[in-house]
Amino acid sequence: MATLGDLGVGAGINILSALIFFLVFAFLRLQPLNDRVYFPKWYFKGLRESPIPSGAFVRKFVNLDFRSYLRFLDWMPAALRMPEPELIDHAGLDSAVYLRIYLIGLKIFVPIAFLAWAVLVPVNYTNITLDLEKIKNVTSSDIDKLSISNIPDKSPRLFSHIVMAYVFTVWTCYVLLKEYEIVANMRLHFLATEERRPDQYTVLVRNVPPDSDESTSELVEHFFLVNHPDHYLTHQVVYNANSLAKLVKKKKKMLNWLVYYQNKLSRSKTATRPLRKTGFLGLWGKKVDAIEHYKTEIEKLTDQIAKEKERVAHDPKSIMPAAFVSFKTQWGAAVCAQTQQSRNPTIWLTEWAPEPRDVYWPNMAVPYVQLTVKRLIMGVAFFFLTFFFMIPIAIVQSFASLEGIEKAAPFLKPIVEAKFIKSVIAGFLPGIALKLFLIFLPTILMIMAKFEGYPSKSSLERRAASRYYLFSLVNVFLGSIITGTAFEQLESFIHQSATDIPKTIGVAIPMKATFFITYIMVDGWAGIAAEILMLKPLIIYHLKNSFLVKTDKDREEAMDPGSIGFNTGEPRIQLYVLLGLVYATVTPTLLPFIIIFFGLAYVVFRHQIINVYKQEYESAAAFWPDVHGRIITALIISQLLLFGLLSTKKAAQSTPFLIALPVLTLWFHRYCKGRFEPAFKTFPLQEAMMKDTLEQARDPNLNLKGYLQSAYIHPVFKECGDEEDNESLEKSETESVIVATKRQSRRNTPAPSRMTGGSSPSMRDVELAQP
């Protein structure tokens, strides 16, 4: 058990290390050499050029203006200065709302901490239970004196904890309600005021049924002409362009090399044309003229790409049963996205199209049955991952031990037996398997989410985040409280009664307070301070810059700004929220540490979002219901654990008061779900109509079809740069508008109603001309 003094030392060390990180950061960011590492966002925005001061050569790399070093914490107020609306403009709504998660942490925990210190700490401290136990040689620390452990069994003082649990719950719910309201309004405002975006007019249609008479494109066209005659505008089928993407990538690399060698030639004084070996990585083989070599290679590839494109555009097999359907009005798109199209609810599935940047192309075509099977498999896999992940790691560890290596590869014995290597293997290898697993866990979870067939990057990240949260809930939170692997916990929980589980955990909670305080300081404080240093991108950038960067474009690409990383960042915050809520009534000493974490993280991430991160997509804060739900989960867990803890304190008369809490919290959650969640899933028709009217007034002659035509073309087609090819591809799609239906049976596509429609006369005339 750590004393307050121990904790103070720990805090001192961590504050010092955080300060050192900040100092190093302050020094590094002022060096022009690192400018692209610490301010990449401004480069991407085109608002900043490579800093080449007119002065001496050395100034290009080192900042000699010593005055600037004096204000080394200047970035903090600077990061806080940008107002929220400007931040939304600058970095998008996702980022701005993501920052609000840290703010919500502050809003919840600052008042709770004050109250807890004002009420609970004195109540706890003025008991002498632990002093009495000390006489009996039970060790306890000063922190425990401030916690609920210091209150004797059956004490009426325990009621103050119950009252506080109510106050904390009410306050948390109030903050959550207000915040949900604000975020929902921000989202709707954002959707209403932002510029025209293709996804506002577009719906993603999945599971287009196969048809023997018509191609997918024709089928989509006919279906929507018939069923949305007044609103349908155009559509784009989704191509399976994975092989094409590979070729394009190869060509791009070749082009890069070509530019590199051409630069080299023009700069070199000897005018000898650069040579290159044809073998693997240019290491062996015949030497050839590099520029000629790449020119011919590129020509070959261009041919191949053209052929592949032709194939993709005309081979029906490369067309996936999905399409992006665009409408004339946002009203039409809103209607189509929210309604069921076909009698069979597993075909013609419609949903709002994600932003073009946000589309995850490989997942466009997963049939419904496969989808449900895949989710089942992944659910089971995740269960095993969470509870049994220690088994494969233990196996690897056994192999990675001395004996394991000697057994598997006896010839290595003399090397392994060397003293230095022996100690490395013994002390380092077993741990590395677990560490590697934890590093790759987010990637594993992301792959699982991809396998489940979510259509957009944002939904993939949300899915991975919720799994990561569950994993850390079981393995970090419960795992730290109760010793033993997750599976052992699971087994003991199954064999315990419903009331014993909270008891088992609840009893252990006060004892683990110091552990979690240390965890918060190391992982939270120092970890956040390290985040701002961006050590990995810094090193990689400089390495790339020295060895790989051949052209200006390469330098652009060597910048690795990263993004918020919702799938790892948010579950981490949630873990702190959970700790704070659980310990608020039990050991209020923990709260200030949490508050410092949230404050620090808010400033650091605000700085990062303004200067560094580059969001890959914009989901308009679609993640908020998840955030809200997880805070509610934390709240309920904290209530159940307090319930368990109190029942061991023999305060049985208090149980009815505590049972009501989770019921009320759950009800609050359901209320919020009904009240706010639709704003994150659907788009109200009233808003759509308002926006349509505005659009109409602002830009009555807009060629919307032209605008939407190529918005959802697979990025690989755009990357090719061969614009005329794209045109032909589009044409091959759009030509079908005036092609008559080849359908013989009219079972699936009834003729359009005579009353409605009139949007595409040529098409309808053809339809009506048929008997």
Q: Let me know: does 757 contact 222? Beta carbons within 8 Å.
A: no
Rounded-to-integer distance, Cα 43 and Cα 720, Å = 24
Question: Tokens in use for 621?
Answer: 């804060």
Among 127, 227, 397, 485, interactor with a second copy by CB under 8 A: 227
Among 64, 118, 182, 376, interactor with a second copy by CB under 8 A: 376
Our CA dihedral for 89, 92, 96, 98, rounded to 10 degrees, sits at 180
User: Amino acid identity, residue 278?
Assistant: T
Q: Let me know: does 180 contact 166? Beta carbons within 8 Å.
A: no
Rounded least distance, CB 149 to a second copy, Å? 25
Q: What is the CA radius of gyration of the chain?
A: 31
With respect to a second copy, which residue has the nearer C-beta, 80 or 685?
Answer: 685
Among the residue ranges 129-137, 553-561, 585-593, 686-694, the one whose residues contact a second copy (CB under 8 A): 686-694
Among the residue ranges 38-46, 307-315, 431-439, 663-671, the one whose residues contact a second copy (CB under 8 A): 663-671
With respect to a second copy, which residue has the nearer C-beta, 27 or 671?
Answer: 671
Q: Is 705 in the site for a second copy (CB under 8 A)?
A: no
Q: Let me know: does 726 contact 720? Beta carbons within 8 Å.
A: yes
Residues within window 378-417 making contact with a second copy, judged by CB under 8 A: 380
Rounded least distance, CB 648 to a second copy, Å? 15
Rounded least distance, CB 97 to a second copy, Å? 17
285: left (phi over 0), alpha (psi -120 to 50) or beta: left
Rounded-to-integer distance, Cα 218 and Cα 739, Å = 8
Among the residue ranges 56-64, 95-103, 471-479, 667-675, the one whose residues contact a second copy (CB under 8 A): 667-675
With respect to a second copy, which residue has the nearer C-beta, 263 or 338?
Answer: 338
With respect to a second copy, which residue has the nearer C-beta, 296 or 693?
Answer: 693
Q: Is 768 in the site for a second copy (CB under 8 A)?
A: no
Rounded-to-integer distance, Cα 75 and Cα 83, Å = 15
Among the residue ranges 75-83, 209-217, 297-305, 691-699, the one whose residues contact a second copy (CB under 8 A): 691-699
Rounded-to-integer distance, Cα 441 and Cα 667, Å = 34
With respect to a second copy, which residue has the nearer C-beta, 126 or 339?
Answer: 339
Interface mask toward a second copy for 178-197; x: CB under 8 A? ----------x---------
Residue in this structure with the two tokens 């590129």, named with its chain if needed:
298
DSSP state of 149: G
Q: Is 87 in the site for a second copy (CB under 8 A)?
A: no
The closest of 563, 560, 564, 565 to 540, measured between CA atoms, is 560
Residue 203: enclosing H or E segment and its boundaries? Answer: strand 202-206
User: Amino acid identity, residue 447?
Assistant: I
CA 315 from chain centre, in angstroms, equals 36
Q: Let me know: does 217 contact 741? Beta carbons within 8 Å.
A: no
Rounded-to-integer distance, Cα 591 and Cα 583, Å = 8
Rounded-to-integer distance, Cα 576 and Cα 520, Å = 8
Residues within window 734-753 making contact with a second copy, judged by CB under 8 A: 750-753
Q: Is 331 in the site for a second copy (CB under 8 A)?
A: yes
Residues within window 101-130 making contact with a second copy, judged by CB under 8 A: none
The gap between the terminal CA atoms of the chain, to the nearest Å, is 87
Rounded least distance, CB 571 to a second copy, Å? 25
Rounded-to-integer distance, Cα 41 and Cα 614, Å = 6
Among the residue ranges 3-11, 24-32, 77-85, 685-693, the one whose residues contact a second copy (CB under 8 A): 685-693
Among the residue ranges 232-240, 259-267, 317-325, 489-497, the one whose residues contact a second copy (CB under 8 A): 489-497
Rounded least distance, CB 661 to a second copy, Å? 13
Rounded-to-integer distance, Cα 433 and Cα 393, Å = 6
With respect to a second copy, which residue has the nearer C-beta, 269 or 343?
Answer: 343
With respect to a second copy, which residue has the nearer C-beta, 721 or 758?
Answer: 758
Q: Is 500 in the site for a second copy (CB under 8 A)?
A: yes
Among the residue ranges 15-23, 287-295, 332-340, 566-574, the one whose residues contact a second copy (CB under 8 A): 332-340
Q: Is 496 in the site for a second copy (CB under 8 A)?
A: yes
Q: Let me know: does 425 contact 402? Beta carbons within 8 Å.
A: yes
Among 690, 737, 740, 766, interactor with a second copy by CB under 8 A: 690
Among 342, 397, 518, 710, interactor with a second copy by CB under 8 A: 342
Rounded least distance, CB 226 to a second copy, Å? 6
Among 139, 497, 703, 745, interactor with a second copy by CB under 8 A: 497
CA angle 101, 77, 23 (to 5 degrees): 100
Q: Is 659 in the site for a second copy (CB under 8 A)?
A: no
Q: Is 368 in the site for a second copy (CB under 8 A)?
A: yes
383: left (phi over 0), alpha (psi -120 to 50) or beta: alpha
Q: Is 268 in the site for a second copy (CB under 8 A)?
A: no
CA angle 686, 692, 695 (to 5 degrees): 140
Among 68, 372, 443, 770, interactor with a second copy by CB under 8 A: 372
Q: Is 653 in the site for a second copy (CB under 8 A)?
A: no
Question: Tokens in use for 706?
Answer: 């032209």
Among the residue ranges 100-108, 328-336, 515-523, 526-534, the one whose residues contact a second copy (CB under 8 A): 328-336
Q: Is 682 in the site for a second copy (CB under 8 A)?
A: yes
Please list the residues that pair with 163 across neighbouring strands.
none
Residues within window 228-267 making contact with a second copy, judged by CB under 8 A: 228, 230
Among the residue ranges 70-78, 337-345, 505-513, 644-652, the one whose residues contact a second copy (CB under 8 A): 337-345
Rounded-to-integer distance, Cα 257 and Cα 204, Å = 39
Sign of the CA dihedral with 451 first, then 453, 456, and 459 last: negative
Among 85, 678, 721, 758, interactor with a second copy by CB under 8 A: 678
Q: Let me know: does 176 contact 100? Beta carbons within 8 Å.
A: no
Residues 6+ apart with CB under 8 A from 143: 1, 2, 3, 4, 7, 513, 514, 517, 587, 589
Our CA dihedral for 512, 514, 519, 524, rounded to 10 degrees, sits at 130
Rounded least distance, CB 673 to a second copy, Å? 10
Q: Is 769 in the site for a second copy (CB under 8 A)?
A: no
Among 692, 716, 736, 760, interactor with a second copy by CB under 8 A: 692
Among the residue ranges 427-435, 487-495, 558-566, 597-605, the one whose residues contact a second copy (CB under 8 A): 487-495
Rounded-to-integer distance, Cα 101 and Cα 624, Å = 9
Kindly list the residues in this chain that would bind a second copy in the complex (CB under 8 A).
188, 223, 226-228, 230, 328-329, 331, 334-335, 338-343, 345-346, 348, 368-369, 372, 376, 380, 493-500, 663, 667, 670-671, 674-679, 682-687, 689-690, 692-693, 696-697, 750-756
